[in-house]
A and B are shown apart, each in its own frame.
Chain A
Amino acid sequence: MECLKVSEAKMVVYVHPSKSTKIYDAVLRELSSLLFKFDENFDGVVLAYEFDILDKSAKILSGIHPYIGVRIKAKLLLFSPKPDMLLEGRVVKVTQGSIHVIVLGFASAVITEEEIRDEFVYKIKHEEEVFSSKFHKHHTIKVGTMIRFLVKSLDEEILHISGSLIPAHTGCIRWLAKHLDDDTITGRSKKKRRENEEESILQDHGTVSGEALSFNSDHRIKKSKKEKRPKAES
């Protein structure tokens, strides 16, 4: 997804002197406090990080600043959806007026009726609420479907995205993969593989992290820590 990126950042982490014996843990804790929150400096939500401490000699300047300034160089995986970017997520609820989606297991998104193109009609099929296409009867969106949609806006406080299904290249990923780029067989299978990878990431509840990256434990979506992130994502 284009809204995921890896940034390198040089930072100074201020550590309380009482933690001077556990600098590494203290830095981890400090960086973990950034997780799953929108940060204006990075212009995105920090999902994972790894870091190196650049300088072993950090001193307290007593009387000036009682904290130990630890200089680090960090690699941050950022999630920064911008308007008109494409996002992918799993549908969790369909109502007549809206489609609710969860992106990467933690950000919620809603697509309201006005943002669903006319091609899709709300129906109840086998007691299941679905939006299905008027032109392609296999193109349906229901609970559990992975869909691709356009970002309209982001509420940075609660990471709530409002999205749109107006453009033609949005909708059910599986269907789009089959019908939009009908290239060569290899192309298709590559696409499919990629899609599977993406889904598996999502099923792992957003643990898009490289090794040695650490997650804050304050979120339940985190299950497995060491899921290698495919290159295609960055």
Chain B
Amino acid sequence: MGVELRNGEAGFHELDDADFTDYDLVYHVRDALTSVSMGDSDKYNELVAVMHHRGPLAPDEVALLVTSLKALSGAVSYIDSVLHESLLSSIFSMNMWNYRPDVMDALLELIISLAASNGTYIDSCLDMLVGNFTPPNYFTDMLKQPRGIARKDQVLSRVHSSLKVLADLVPLSPMRLLPIIIQRKPHYCSKEIILVIYVENMLKLESGIFGELVGSAMLSGLVDLLLDLDVEIGWDDILQDESAKGIFSMELEDVDEDIDDELMDGGELPRELSRKSLVGNLFARKLDSLMVLIFEHLESCEVGRRLVEVFETLLQPFQKTVLTAYKSKFSQFVMFYACALDPENCGVRFANMLGDTFISNSHPPLLRMSAVAYLASYLSRGKFLSTSLIADTLKRLVDWCLDYCTIQEGEINPKAHRIFYSGCQAIMYALCFRMRSIMGVPWFKSQLLMPINLILSHKLSPLKVCLPSIVTEFLRQSKAAGLFITSERFNFDDYLESELSKGFGGMERLDMFFPFDPCLLKRCDSFIRPYYVYWSMVRPTYDDGQEEGSDEEVDEAPLGGNTKSREDFDLDEFDSAMNQMSITPKDSLKHRFGAALKEPLRMPSRIRPSTSPESL
């Protein structure tokens, strides 16, 4: 290196002595470039050496570099892609993160001139710009210091503005940019900071001037990345220490400040434990950070009044990747959050999309079952959803199930009628959460109650097939509300466990898939929490004697769902009811049924009921 540097200095020595104008410099460089074809490449080599210098630069070297870059920008039309290959490759391998702003500017000016001068350079130039989205490896530690952050701003703002300038000069460049960005997307195993910075850049492009062009590709690339991380986190990671503790792991709201006390008191917080099992999980941490970035982006879209469009673009990758993925765990919360930000548009659109997917015959059964699982979970958990939307959506499901009943004559057959059973389960699940509020809908009795009655008493016996915990809770609430009492078929104590639900859920156990169960990613959860209905916030129709006359409805539950008073209290019935509603399934059937057979009702020992009795 040292030798090259000296050569470089010597070559340009004359420049220091005389008073040269910019134009003279340009001519000097042109001369160096053209003389290569005549066999004289001394000056050219000096030029390459200046570009190729790596490592710290002294002030005079910086000046030399800037001057050379500027002179080259004036001589781009003399650069030949074959003759000057070494020069081009050293220019394209320069990393902006290594330089001061004045060098960055000169370098970008050159890159833009190159791209605009000749079509053959455009891809390399775009590639070079995209390559600067992320810092070199050595720099990642610096990003925590103010100096590193300042450098990051300097580089990224310049890269993005150059992309804009380039798009003005070469209007088709965004079309070429797209594949490059997707191609250079870091692997999900890369460092968290690299992933985060790259995603920041993608989101910046999405909201930037050519968002219209590249937006959908950016978002679907992002969703792919989320899902890559998502599938790396196994259900085992989430539930590992719950294995012998009961049928379901419990749904718990965490209590940030109170947690320590609780633990000292010997209180057991499976949710926290689940979370703990995720603590060491790098993928979970990366996913958490990326999701937070996307949430913030969605917020900014909401402020900029473009959330509806962005949501529409997000729906496609959601349908294509998340919905079809095997039990995605976290990625779906992006949709949930977008819906929460704009319930009137996005929220309704999402419910309709899921409903359409379920009802449409042209989709494969697994997709339809998955869609209805999403729908049920969404209708139950979205605090922002209006009762009328929930009732309307349920009515669609009920109508479909009723139609199905009328054309089917057979007996119970979980496999053959799995779509139907998943639909019934979805209706019951959502009603468990919403029964009380939905009874206020004027047409509830005529439009929903009667058909549901017919469906449930049909020969296909959904009550025997669907997940017993849901059936039990549903029947319990309907009994308390005085519904369905006329039918003799409902024996409220019969359905505790059933092998049939396994049958309709299939290998995938879609019967136990509740996508919007409480989010276990810590930072994500803080975004989701205000818009989320926890089971403990639901006021069922029955009265356990624990309610103490509280009038709190789901909709009135305190934002944040945090509890301030967390006295221990004794719950028996209430406890088990909630435990049965606790959702997140164990993935191992052996555990589920093995444990269940041994102690069919062993739920609450470690599992505190949703931990927060704030609704009581």
- Using a CB–CB cutoff of 8 Å, the interface residues on chain A facing chain B are 36, 92-93, 95-98, 100, 102, 105-108, 110, 112-114, 155, 157-160, 162, 218-221
Q: List 8 A-B contacts (CB under 8 A).
A: A97-B75, A110-B118, A155-B120, A157-B119, A158-B172, A218-B175, A218-B213, A219-B175
* A105 and B171 form a contact (CB under 8 A): yes
* A97 and B172 form a contact (CB under 8 A): no
Say how far A61's CB is from chain B's closest CB, in angstroms.
25
Interface membership of B443, Cβ < 8 A: no
Say how far B588's CB is from chain A's closest CB, in angstroms.
38
Say how far A37's CB is from chain B's closest CB, in angstroms.
9
Set A95, A158, A220: member contacting B210, Cβ < 8 A: A220
State A143–B120 Cα separation when bound (angstroms). Answer: 24
* B116 and A93 form a contact (CB under 8 A): yes
A160: chain B residues within 8 A (beta carbon): 118-119, 122, 170
B150-174 interface (Cβ within 8 A of A): 168-172, 174
Interface membership of B212, Cβ < 8 A: yes
Say how far B433's CB is from chain A's closest CB, in angstroms.
38
A93: chain B residues within 8 A (beta carbon): 116, 169
A97: chain B residues within 8 A (beta carbon): 26, 74-77
* B119 and A155 form a contact (CB under 8 A): yes
A95: chain B residues within 8 A (beta carbon): 74, 113
Interface membership of B176, Cβ < 8 A: yes
B212: chain A residues within 8 A (beta carbon): 220
State A107–B171 Cα separation when bound (angstroms). Answer: 7
B213: chain A residues within 8 A (beta carbon): 218-220
Set B74, B117, B119, B120: member contacting A159, Cβ < 8 A: B119
Could you tell me the dominant secondary structure of chain B's interface residues? Answer: helix
Say how far B116's CB is from chain A's closest CB, in angstroms.
5
State A105–B170 Cα separation when bound (angstroms). Answer: 10
Q: Which of A105, A108, A155 has most chain B Cβ within 10 Å? A: A108
* A108 and B171 form a contact (CB under 8 A): yes
Residues of B within 8 Å of A, CB-based: how many? 24
11 more CB-based (< 8 A) A-B contacts, given A95-B113, A157-B119: A92-B168, A107-B171, A108-B170, A112-B77, A155-B118, A158-B172, A160-B118, A160-B119, A160-B170, A219-B175, A220-B210
Interface membership of B569, Cβ < 8 A: no
State A221–B174 Cα separation when bound (angstroms). Answer: 11
B101-126 interface (Cβ within 8 A of A): 113, 116-120, 122
Interface membership of B23, Cβ < 8 A: yes
* B172 and A106 form a contact (CB under 8 A): yes
* A100 and B169 form a contact (CB under 8 A): yes
Q: Which of B113, B169, B171 has most chain A Cβ within 10 Å? A: B171
State A110–B120 Cα separation when bound (angstroms). Answer: 13
State A155–B120 Cα separation when bound (angstroms). Answer: 8
State A138–B171 Cα separation when bound (angstroms). Answer: 29
A158: chain B residues within 8 A (beta carbon): 119-120, 122, 170, 172, 176
Q: Which of B75, B119, B176, B210 has most chain A Cβ within 10 Å? A: B119
B207-222 interface (Cβ within 8 A of A): 210, 212-213
* B26 and A106 form a contact (CB under 8 A): no
CB-nearest residue of chain B to A154:
B119
CB-nearest residue of chain B to A153:
B119
A112: chain B residues within 8 A (beta carbon): 77, 117
State A20–B77 Cα separation when bound (angstroms). Answer: 51
CB-nearest residue of chain B to A97:
B74
* A36 and B120 form a contact (CB under 8 A): no
Per-position 1/0 for B195-231, Cβ under 8 A of A? 0000000000000001011000000000000000000
Q: Given A158-B122, A218-B213, A220-B212: A98 and B117 within 8 A (CB)?
A: yes
* B171 and A102 form a contact (CB under 8 A): yes
State A157–B121 Cα separation when bound (angstroms). Answer: 11
Q: Which of A98, A112, A162, A220 has most chain B Cβ within 10 Å? A: A220
